[in-house]
């Protein structure tokens, strides 16, 4: 039976996310689909034939015929042949051989082992997927965060630690954190993709077969990989060193972790009792099957859920680092899921960017929530200023004052002003220092400046990365 609809698939990634988003499907299918895997492997076989010809091992006409045939074969042909051979790469080789003249057939796959082709093809398609899809998609997400950081650089917000009110920041400062973190992950993702190696070193990595064909097998490997824009690992076995795949997976999963953190923060800020932001809601959108009034932060929750689904796969990638001796097959199934991590990362970045684009920042609620702690957030600046002007135990003195203020329903400054032990220190305060105690909502440090600096830095660094 053949799968003819996304609703016939088992994985929700196929049926709901990748398969349910036409734009994402169109972007990722050329790199991450099973069809793409076959086409990239065929492309690598063609590159091998041309490299053999460049070194005089294969006839140039034969090599061109192989490269042309490799470009024309279909995944269905290879799948049909695999039902007979029960070996995917040999099926590919047989199909290519069937499309070339008799005199060219001996040069198809000559000197190579299966994973010279598979690992090289995977390095190439994953790298191109990262460069052409993931990087631009994440860059758009960062750009959305930059826009919010700039627009809200001066918008006061109460900072929260352990879920409790702490000291004032700005909403733009809070977003700037994610600009920097996502930017760092973007660079790590690009680096990990660029570092993926290919190979042409044979069944155990020692160039055994290739040494029978070329005077300098490593020169042949360099020429072959260079034609694909790849590099060789210093030492390979039957497979490339697996740490390249590990690093790529980690770059994706850690980027997803930052996205999940951002999404979770925005979700928390939409709680009824906080209400500082609001996710956009379509006119016909339904929030609950039984509560007609519900408007839930579903997009932000979805991004966090995608991260939860993908993060445990990092353990599988770590386990794939172990391959006995020159290679075993214990990664043959598990490594095939690496593409799903890339797909999920692209999906989450796109959905989060769309969510932020439609998000509304409620400045009135931000101001009201900050005002709730206006009487106590002066504790830190008061403690620091008292210590600055000579108080021997300022922290303890202010701690006791906060308790007294809470009991009496007064502000911290009111209680401090009445404390005779503090008067000599309070007299030394300058106008700006006293202003912070009188208007603690302005105690924001460099939040505004940091927000603008980070936004400006990354706006510049994204030039040439953002899609047109």
Q: Where are the domains of the chain?
A: 9-107, 114-279+296-369, 378-442
pTM score, whole prediction: 0.92
At 295 the pLDDT is 64
Give yes or no for a contact between 183 and 389, defined as CB atoms under 8 angstroms apart.
no
Highest CATH level, class, for 114-279+296-369: mainly alpha
Cβ-Cβ contacts under 8 Å for 24 (sequence gap 6 or more): 17, 18, 343, 346, 347, 350
Give yes or no for a contact between 285 and 210, defined as CB atoms under 8 angstroms apart.
no
What SS3 state is found at 277? Answer: strand
At 294 the pLDDT is 41
Tokens of 44: 């690598």
Report the CATH number of the 9-107 domain.
1.10.275.10
Bridge partners, 143 (sequence order): none
Q: How many residues does the chain have?
A: 468
Cβ-Cβ contacts under 8 Å for 362 (sequence gap 6 or more): 275, 276, 277, 278
State the 10-residue block means of pLDDT for the chain, 468 residues long: 76 81 93 97 99 97 98 96 96 98 98 98 99 98 98 97 95 98 98 98 97 97 98 96 97 98 97 92 49 66 96 95 92 90 97 95 96 89 95 94 89 90 92 92 96 98 91
At 49 the pLDDT is 99
């Amino acid at each position: 039976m053949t799968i003819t609809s996304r609703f016939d698939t088992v994985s929700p990634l196929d049926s709901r996310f990748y398969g349910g988003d036409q734009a994402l499907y169109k972007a990722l299918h050329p790199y991450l689909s099973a069809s793409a895997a076959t086409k990239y492997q065929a492309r690598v076989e063609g590159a091998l034939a041309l490299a053999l010809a460049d070194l005089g091992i294969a006839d140039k006409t034969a090599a061109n015929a192989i490269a042309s045939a490799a470009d024309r074969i279909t995944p269905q042909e290879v799948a049909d042949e695999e039902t007979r051979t029960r070996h995917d790469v040999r099926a590919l080789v047989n199909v290519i051989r069937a499309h070339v003249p008799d005199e060219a057939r001996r040069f198809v796959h000559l000197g190579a082992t299966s994973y010279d082709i598979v690992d090289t093809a995977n390095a190439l398609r994953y790298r191109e997927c990262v460069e052409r899809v993931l990087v631009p998609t994440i860059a758009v997400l960062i750009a959305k965060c930059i826009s919010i950081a700039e627009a809200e650089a001066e918008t006061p917000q109460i900072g929260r630690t352990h879920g409790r009110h702490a000291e004032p920041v700005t909403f733009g400062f809070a977003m700037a954190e994610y600009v920097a973190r996502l930017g760092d992950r973007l660079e790590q993702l690009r680096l990990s993709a660029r570092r993926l190696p290919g190979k042409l070193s044979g069944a155990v990595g020692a160039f055994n077969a290739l040494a029978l064909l070329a005077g300098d097998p490593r020169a042949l490997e360099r020429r072959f990989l260079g034609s694909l824009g790849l590099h060789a690992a210093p030492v390979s076995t039957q497979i490339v060193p697996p740490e390249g795949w590990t690093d790529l997976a980690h770059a994706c999963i850690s980027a997803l972790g930052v996205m999940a953190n951002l999404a979770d923060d925005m979700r928390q800020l939409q709680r009824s009792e906080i209400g500082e932001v609001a996710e956009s809601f379509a006119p016909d959108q339904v929030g609950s099957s039984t509560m007609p009034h519900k408007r839930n932060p579903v997009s932000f929750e979805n991004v966090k859920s995608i991260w939860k689904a993908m993060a445990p796969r990092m353990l599988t990638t770590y386990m794939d680092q172990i391959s006995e001796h020159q290679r075993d097959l214990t990664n043959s199934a598990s490594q095939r899921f690496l593409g799903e991590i890339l797909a999920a990362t692209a999906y989450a970045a796109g959905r989060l960017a769309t969510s932020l684009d439609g998000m509304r920042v409620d400045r009135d609620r931000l101001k009201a929530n900050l005002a709730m702690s206006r009487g106590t957030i002066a504790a830190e600046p008061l403690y620091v200023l008292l210590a600055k002007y000579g108080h021997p135990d300022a922290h303890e003195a202010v701690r006791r004052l906060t308790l007294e203020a809470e009991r009496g329903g007064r502000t911290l400054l009111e209680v401090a002003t009445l404390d005779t032990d503090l008067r000599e220190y309070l007299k030394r305060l300058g106008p700006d220092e006293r202003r912070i105690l009188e208007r603690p909502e302005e105690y924001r440090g460099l939040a505004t400046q940091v927000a603008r600096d980070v936004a400006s830095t990354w706006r510049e660094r994204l030039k040439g990365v953002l899609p047109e």
